[in-house]
């Protein structure tokens, strides 16, 4: 009977799906002479990688290997150290003179000059180029002319950037910004070669940078092959022959591949394996604090969530989430319940302090009361959205929903899992969410400013909830203008008081860097942003 065909089909599919997690095959090259290839887990970036456009973690990993900027953050301490910059001088915290070191080139042989930086920054800032990271240039004088809030640009370049000679350029900022040089290690400030402007499409398909690696090939959805660049002159020359970044849509599969010897490095150990990881990997498991916070952002562009009174509802939802229980059971304490909108990895001096208080403490009674006082949830329901291919997001989403349901009543909360990170990022940018959505923020540089301004300041580069609060914006402006570091930090902390009251984003927990590697490789470390320091990995 042909009617039975369907039954067979279905059964096979289940078998295939189960077996796929344990696919065999693949050995690895490498003989300990620095030519071995590191095979690492990865997820597809949203867009082709481009310094001023990539504002997500997966593309950021690639930029980290392809580019070197004026400064580099020390992988251990997070301190911003001069790299291509010989020196960055200022007398007034507003006008800076940048001098470059000799000897830096792009992998196509072109010299890295002052112009490489100035052109790249002007490109990144210009409104016509629609670069995600354009707001990072907004402190520079003349930004409004190339990137007005509405209408077309009045100028092609920012007046604040002036090339003096091949080795020198000056930067004039709109206002005082004492810690500005420390932001320059972020990839948005990377230099770009001429070919980027001359043959943009060609560059995108095979990016050329000045970092220790070059791109050999990229097959979307499958793998990117990066190879060590022999001509690289920097101190952090690659200690391996290259890195193969393999795309996984499920970190459990990546972990299984690591165990089966098909992969060397997993930088996102799945929550379900945390119980076994010490047993499986021993000291080949890394668990360390990182500059990452996970939040649930409210779509403030949706009237239902932003109208008056809803701040109580948003606070109530925050109080309905049992952070302690979830981080303890599901994440086996590889996450720490959040008490502010920054990260403990900043340190107390850096500005980390409990600024959320009661609003981040589980209290189901109070949560119920607040939600009722604020007029209730829109339609009596809340739906949480996140991608589910990384970070074990599905598991905690379910747990958060269960926690909300336990506090506010059955059937209140549902989850909306999105298959891939790239798809989720596209949905974020469409501003169509009708409920809170996940935002995992991995700092671009270890400053408290970076945890607040890009995320909650008006038109911030990653302000996906479109939060806009005058008191908050003013405090951030004030903090940036402050020349005294300690005072600036206090202003940023005060700005968080407004976040605690308005709750545009619920702080969930601080994420540790959590990685495991195979016996095939050694010298694996994570930097402060929890990104593997690929160039130092040795293949045995």
Partner 1 sequence: MPDKTAEKVTTATGEPIPAAAVATDAGPAPAKARSLWSDAWHDLRRQPLFIISSVLILLLLVIAIWPGLFTSASPRQADLAKHYLQKPQWGHFFSPEWLGYDGQGRSIYARVIYGARASITVGVGVTLCVTVLGTFIGMIAGYFGGWIDSILSRVTDVFLGIPFLLGALVVLNTFEKRSVWVVILALAFLGWTQIARVARGAVITIKQADYVMAAKALGASTTRILFRHILPNALAPIIVVATIALGGYIAAEATLSFLGIGLTEPTISWGGDVSAGREQLRNAPFTLIVPSVMVSVTVLSFLMFGDAVRNALDPKLR
CB of 10 to partner 1, least distance (A): 4
Q: Which long-range contacts (CB under 8 A, 24 or more apart) does 249-253 make?
A: 249/43, 249/389, 249/419, 249/420, 250/389, 251/41, 251/389, 251/390, 251/391, 251/392, 252/21, 253/20, 253/21
β-strand partners of 413: 382
Shortest CB 395 distance to partner 1, Å: 6
Element at 304 (helix H, strand E): helix 303-306
Nearer to partner 1, 123 or 331 (CB): 331
Minimum Å distance from CB 289 to partner 1?
23
Stretch that binds partner 1, among 47-55, 147-155, 299-307, 394-402 (CB under 8 A): 394-402
Pick from 297, 320, 399, 508 the residue near partner 1 by CB under 8 A: 399
When the beta carbons of 206 and 275 are compared against partner 1, the nearer one is: 275
Q: Look at the chain and count its residues.
A: 540
Task: Give the list of residues 6+ apart from residue 335 with CB closer than 8 angstroms, or none.
Answer: 294, 326, 327, 508, 509, 510, 511, 512
Q: Is 280 exposed, middle or buried (0-12, 13-18, 19+ CB in 10 A)?
A: middle
Q: Which tokens hold the place of 522?
A: 């050694």
String of contacts with partner 1 for each residue 44-63, x by CB under 8 A: --------------------
Site size for partner 1 (CB under 8 A): 44
Q: Annotate each residue in 402-431 with x if it binds partner 1 (CB under 8 A) or - if it does not, as one string.
A: xx-xx---xx--xxxx-x------------
Query: Of 38-46, 396-404, 440-448, 462-470, which part binds partner 1 (CB under 8 A)?
Result: 396-404
Start-end of H helices in 330-484: 347-350, 364-373, 393-408, 421-430, 448-456, 470-481
Q: Which of residues 252-281 bind partner 1 (CB under 8 A)?
A: 252, 270, 272-273, 275-276
Is 1 an interacting residue with respect to partner 1 (CB under 8 A)? yes
Q: How far is the CB of 276 from partner 1 (least distance, A)?
A: 6
Q: Does 470 bind partner 1 (CB under 8 A)?
A: no
Give the shortest CB-414-to-partner 1 separation in angstroms.
5
Distances (CA, A) of 66 to 189, 194, 210, 211: 13, 16, 6, 4
User: Which string of x and - marks every residue 371-390 that binds partner 1 (by CB under 8 A)?
Assistant: -----------------x--
Look at residues 338, 344, 382 and name the one whose alpha carbon lies nearest to residue 362. Answer: 338
By beta-carbon proximity to partner 1, the closer residue of 179 and 273 is 273
The reply on whether position 2 binds partner 1 by CB under 8 A is yes
Q: Looking only at residues 112 through 141 of this chain, which bind partner 1 when binding is defined by CB under 8 A? A: none
Please state the closest distance from residue 11 (CB atom) to partner 1, in A. 6
Reading the block at residue 369, the tokens are 């009361």
CA distance 204 to 417: 30
Does position 221 bind partner 1 by CB under 8 A? no
Query: To which residue do tokens 């003096």 refer?
Result: 164
Task: Tell me how far, at minimum, the Cβ of 426 lies from partner 1, in Å.
Answer: 14
Which residue's CB is nearer to partner 1, number 232 or number 331? 331
Residues of span 12-41 touching partner 1 by CB under 8 A: 13-14, 17-18, 21
Q: Give the nearer residue to partner 1 in terms of CB position, either 410 or 470.
A: 410
CB contact set of 276 (below 8 Å; sequence gap of 6+): none
d(CA 98, CA 162): 10
Interface with partner 1 in residues 325-344 (CB under 8 A): 325-326, 328-330
| Per-residue H/E/C for 83-134 | CCEEEEEECCCCEEEEEECCCCECCCCCECCHHHHHHHHHHHHCHHHCCCCH
Q: How far is the CB of 524 from partner 1 (least distance, A)?
A: 23
Query: What is the DSSP code (8-state) at residue 4?
Result: G
Closest separation in Å from C-beta 255 to partner 1:
10
Tell me if 179 contacts partner 1 by CB under 8 A.
Answer: no
Cα→Cα distances 375→311, 401, 404, 470, Å: 10, 20, 17, 24
Binding residues vs partner 1 (CB under 8 A)? 1-11, 13-14, 17-18, 21, 252, 270, 272-273, 275-276, 322, 325-326, 328-330, 388, 394-395, 398-399, 402-403, 405-406, 410-411, 414-417, 419
């Amino acid at each position: 009977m042909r009617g039975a065909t369907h039954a067979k089909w279905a059964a096979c599919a289940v078998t295939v799906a189960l077996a796929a997690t344990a696919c065999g095959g693949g050995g690895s090259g490498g003989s300990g002479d620095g030519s071995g290839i590191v095979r690492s887990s990865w997820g597809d970036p949203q867009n082709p990688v481009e310094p001023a456009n990539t504002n997500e973690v997966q593309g950021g990993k690639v930029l980290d290997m392809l580019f070197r900027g004026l400064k580099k953050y020390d992988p251990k301490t997070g301190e911003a150290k001069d790299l291509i910059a010989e020196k960055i001088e200022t007398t007034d915290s507003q006008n800076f003179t940048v001098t470059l070191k000799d000897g830096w080139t792009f992998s196509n042989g072109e010299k890295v000059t002052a112009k490489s930086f100035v052109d790249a920054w002007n490109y990144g800032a210009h409104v016509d180029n629609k670069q995600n990271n354009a707001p990072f240039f907004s402190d520079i004088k003349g930004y409004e002319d190339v990137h007005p809030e509405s209408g077309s640009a009045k100028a092609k370049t920012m007046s604040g950037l002036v090339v003096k000679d091949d080795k020198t350029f000056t930067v004039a900022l709109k206002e005082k910004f004492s810690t500005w040089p420390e932001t320059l290690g972020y990839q948005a400030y990377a230099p770009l070669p001429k070919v980027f402007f001359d043959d943009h499409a060609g560059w995108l398909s095979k990016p050329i940078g000045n970092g220790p690696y070059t791109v050999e090939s990229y097959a979307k959805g499958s793998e990117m092959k990066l190879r060590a660049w022999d001509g690289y002159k920097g101190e952090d020359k690659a200690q391996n022959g290259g890195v193969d970044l393999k795309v996984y849509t499920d970190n459990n599969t990546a972990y299984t591949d690591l165990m089966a010897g098909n992969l060397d490095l997993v930088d996102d150990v799945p929550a379900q394996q945390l119980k076994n990881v010490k047993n499986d990997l021993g000291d080949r498991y890394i668990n360390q604090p990182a500059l990452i916070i996970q939040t649930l952002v409210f779509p403030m562009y949706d009237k239902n969530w932003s109208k008056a009174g809803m701040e109580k509802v948003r606070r109530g939802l925050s109080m309905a989430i049992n952070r302690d229980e979830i981080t303890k059971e599901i994440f086996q304490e590889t996450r720490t319940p959040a008490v502010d909108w920054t990260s403990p990895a900043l340190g107390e001096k850096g500005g980390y302090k409990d600024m959320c208080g009661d609003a981040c403490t589980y209290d189901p009674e109070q949560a119920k009361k607040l939600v009722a006082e604020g007029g209730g949830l829109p339609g009596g329901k809340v739906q949480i959205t996140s991608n589910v291919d990384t970070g074990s997001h599905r598991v905690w989403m379910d747990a958060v929903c269960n926690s909300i349901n336990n506090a506010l009543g059955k059937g209140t909360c549902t989850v909306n899992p999105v298959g891939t990170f790239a798809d989720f990022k596209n949905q974020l940018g469409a501003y169509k969410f009708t409920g809170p959505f996940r935002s995992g923020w991995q700092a671009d540089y270890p400053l408290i400013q970076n945890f607040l301004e890009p995320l909650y300041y008006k038109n911030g580069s990653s302000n996906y909830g479109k939060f806009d609060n005058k008191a908050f914006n003013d405090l951030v402006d004030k903090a940036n203008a402050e020349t005294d570091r300690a005072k600036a930090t206090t202003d940023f902390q005060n700005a968080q008081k407004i976040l605690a009251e308005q709750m545009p984003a619920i702080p969930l927990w601080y994420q540790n860097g959590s990685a495991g590697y195979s016996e095939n490789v050694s010298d694996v470390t994570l930097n402060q942003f929890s990104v593997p320091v690929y160039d130092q990995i040795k293949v045995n």
